[in-house]
């Protein structure tokens, strides 16, 4: 169809309406850049703006706007703004490496929590001293204030641009879209979705931290690359605070403390699978015993489902289509099985074993189930990222009319448990429909609305996490903050209309007709193994007495005090206290120091005076010396502490001896 030049001119002059939050509105010609719009609104802190957000999507300041839009400026200090700063800094680092080390092959460079990294394949391995040279070149690139330009090319053009770059060629081949975005800064070009800062001069304070090995795409079958880690902030003060926190984190690294306290180990024979020692199992069982008590109080029943289940089940549940890459498989007698990555389909099969009535609802089934997921070796990290773990799972089957009450109760349960472990601060996210969702839009809207209503009823603050729901339903995620202010995603509550539909679940209602139940999936701690790793670092290995592998150690001064110590030990054991006797031929001070290294809560020293007065000299791992304490008094205090699962010592919180 032919159009004349006059109609084309009218079309190009069409006006669009752009609103800047909260209520400023102006009209512009189509194809106006975001930065031009921002300048016209005379924004006071324009220098701090790094990108824009339109309908939740982050875009460059150079982005051309072609239709009515609500535009939200993104500044450095926002989480998204800080990520953009760090991602651009990563590109500056790659640029510096590209210039300093001819022949280097560049892989990927994403942002991570508190920083960024880039993977390289250099002709000669990097050494730590190279970081200073790279930083110096980065500062030169920043000083030049090189424009960062986004371009879009088709896949064939991209392959020509990155000729000889083997890792980029693989990435291009794997991209489904025909049009690919690239970013240029001077002579340096890289594949990237963006957004980025408008120029290298906008990069602020940065520091390169370390070099590590990393398999390409995290797969040990691929080449080993070198990964350079770094971080970036807007001020030197923020950087120094972060570096200080990093040093503190190294001291309490759960992998180091786990070895020192003889809790667990890792072996090449089982990559990604932790081996728990007796001390580690004591802590895990203490956590699980606590959970079981609380489940019983709240009307949960426990179930158990097999680790291996037929492939057809996973096809019905949707995991085959949406989760297959993370699953383990085996074949026996011509039949295919999968190791379960989640517990929910097993619970569904139990539901189907007999007719259900509305009178049975809600059914609250908890399962401490072991699941397996094939995580790439490059992302495995102590207890924080493993391939086999125990979930404190539960599935609630309820009537539609019971949804809100069950969600409200579950949210309260999660918060109560976190409080008992000392996590007072947490962030709550509502994750909505992903691209690969199961079920209808109507079902998803109902589910998302129910989760919002429950959160609003509890009066808790939360943020929306668009597109991050599970494939079968939206979810509420709980992120706890530890003593160093780090965030950990643990609990999740997921509302699922899709799986009951897929498995044709039903119950008989009051009207004697069949109806579809609603399924709520929930975990509180998430992975027990991961939560243990978090606790090790949260408590710096000094567990509350109720969790400590050894709670009390008796230290007789000489052999003549051993019989009295054994009597005290027997009294403690009858109360369920985990107690050891240190009768080594060592000095008392040496025994006390060793017990403090093992972070044992209480050291009871026994000498002539203690035997004569029926006391024990109580020393705390905090180095507080309480002196002689009557045995009955100590037994009463520790019994109270254990029964109430106190986080802090009630014995050692007293500054004076408990006489």
- 533-575 pLDDT, tens digit per residue, is 999 999 999 999 999 999 999 999 999 999 999 999 999 999 9
For residue 24, count other CB atoms closer than 10 A to its CB. Answer: 13
- Give yes or no: residues 279 and 221 share one domain: no
CATH of residue 605: 3.40.50.800
Predicted confidence at residue 6, as pLDDT, reads 41
What domain range is 283 assigned to?
273-305+341-538
- Give yes or no: residues 186 and 289 share one domain: no
Predicted confidence at residue 250, as pLDDT, reads 86
- Give yes or no: residues 404 and 421 share one domain: yes
Predicted confidence at residue 644, as pLDDT, reads 94
Catalytic positions are 344, 373, 391, 393, 395, 475, 521
- Give yes or no: residues 45 and 166 share one domain: no
Report the C-alpha gap between 150 and 146 in whole angstroms: 13
Predicted confidence at residue 510, as pLDDT, reads 95
- Nearest Cα neighbor of 373 from 331, 319, 298, 434 is 319
> What domain count does the chain have?
4
CATH of residue 20: 3.10.20.30
- Give yes or no: residues 478 and 347 share one domain: yes
- Give yes or no: residues 16 and 140 share one domain: no
Distances (CA, A) of 133 to 117, 138, 606: 17, 9, 60
Report the C-alpha gap between 422 and 646 in whole angstroms: 10
Q: Is 23 helix (H, G, I), strand (E, B) or coil?
A: coil
Residues of the chain with pLDDT under 50: 1-11, 655-659
- Of 538, 566, 581, the position where a domain reaches its end is 538
CA geometry: angle at 548 spanning 426 and 592, to 5°? Answer: 125
Predicted confidence at residue 1, as pLDDT, reads 34
Tokens 């809100």 found at: 404
**pLDDT tens digits for 234-291?**
999 999 999 998 888 888 999 999 999 999 999 989 999 999 999 999 999 999 999 9
């Amino acid at each position: 169809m032919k159009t004349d030049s006059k109609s084309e001119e009218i079309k190009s002059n069409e006006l669009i309406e752009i609103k800047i939050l909260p209520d400023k509105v102006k009209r512009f010609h189509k194809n106006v850049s975001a930065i031009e719009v921002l300048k016209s609104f005379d924004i006071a802190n324009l220098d701090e703006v790094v990108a824009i957000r339109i309908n939740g999507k982050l875009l460059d300041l150079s982005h051309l706007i072609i239709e009515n839009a609500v535009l939200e400026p993104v500044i450095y200090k926002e989480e998204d703004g800080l990520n953009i700063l760090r991602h651009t800094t990563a590109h500056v680092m790659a640029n510096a490496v590209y210039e300093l080390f001819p022949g280097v092959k560049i892989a990927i460079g994403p942002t991570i929590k508190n920083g960024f990294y880039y993977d390289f394949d250099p002709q000669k391995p990097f050494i730590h001293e190279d970081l200073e040279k790279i930083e110096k070149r980065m500062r030169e690139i920043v000083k030049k204030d090189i424009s960062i330009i986004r371009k879009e090319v088709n896949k064939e053009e991209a392959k020509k641009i990155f000729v000889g770059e083997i890792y980029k060629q693989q990435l291009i081949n794997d991209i489904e879209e025909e049009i690919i975005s690239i970013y240029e800064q001077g002579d340096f070009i890289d594949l990237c979705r963006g957004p980025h800062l408008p120029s290298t001069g906008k990069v602020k304070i940065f520091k390169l931290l370390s070099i590590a090995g990393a398999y390409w795409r995290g797969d040990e079958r691929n080449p080993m690359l070198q990964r350079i880690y770094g971080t970036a902030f807007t001020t030197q003060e923020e950087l120094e605070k972060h570096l200080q926190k990093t040093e503190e984190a190294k001291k309490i690294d759960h992998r180091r403390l786990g070895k020192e306290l003889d809790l667990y180990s890792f072996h090449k024979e089982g990559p990604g699978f932790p081996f728990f020692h007796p001390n580690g199992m004591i802590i895990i069982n203490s956590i699980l015993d606590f959970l079981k008590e609380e489940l019983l109080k709240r009307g949960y029943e426990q179930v158990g489902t097999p680790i291996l289940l037929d492939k057809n089940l996973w096809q019905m549940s949707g995991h085959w289509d949406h989760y297959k890459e993370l699953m383990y498989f085996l074949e026996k007698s011509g039949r295919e099985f999968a190791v379960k990555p989640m517990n929910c389909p097993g619970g569904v099969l139990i539901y189907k074993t007999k007719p259900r009535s509305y009178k049975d609802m809600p059914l609250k089934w908890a399962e401490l189930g072991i699941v397996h997921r094939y995580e790439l070796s490059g992302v495995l990290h102590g207890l924080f990222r493993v391939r086999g773990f125990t979930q404190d799972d539960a599935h609630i089957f309820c009537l539609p009319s019971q949804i809100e009450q069950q969600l409200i109760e579950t949210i309260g349960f999660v918060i109560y448990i976190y409080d008992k472990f000392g996590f007072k601060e947490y962030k709550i996210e509502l994750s909505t429909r992903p691209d690969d969702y199961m079920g209808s839009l109507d079902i998803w809207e109902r589910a998302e609305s129910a989760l919002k209503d429950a959160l609003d009823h509890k009066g808790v603050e939360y943020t929306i996490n668009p597109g991050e729901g599970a494939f079968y339903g939206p979810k509420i995620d709980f992120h706890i903050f530890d003593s160093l202010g780090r965030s950990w995603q643990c609990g999740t509550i997921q509302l699922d209309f899709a799986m009951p539909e897929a498995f044709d679940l039903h119950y008989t209602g009051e009207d004697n007709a069949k109806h579809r139940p609603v399924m709520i999936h929930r975990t509180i701690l998430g992975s027990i193994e991961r939560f243990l790793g978090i606790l090790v670092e949260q408590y710096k290995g000094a567990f509350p007495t109720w969790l400590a592998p050894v709670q009390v150690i008796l230290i007789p001064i000489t052999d003549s005090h051993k019989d009295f110590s054994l009597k005290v030990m027997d009294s403690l054991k009858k109360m369920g206290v985990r107690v050891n006797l240190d009768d080594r031929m060592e000095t008392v001070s040496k025994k006390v120091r060793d017990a403090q290294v093992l972070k044992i809560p209480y050291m009871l020293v026994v000498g002539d005076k203690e035997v004569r007065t029926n006391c024990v000299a109580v020393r705390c791992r905090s180095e507080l010396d309480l002196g002689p304490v009557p045995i009955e008094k100590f037994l009463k205090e520790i019994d109270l502490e254990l029964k109430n699962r106190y986080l802090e010592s009630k014995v050692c919180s007293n500054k004076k001896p408990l006489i």
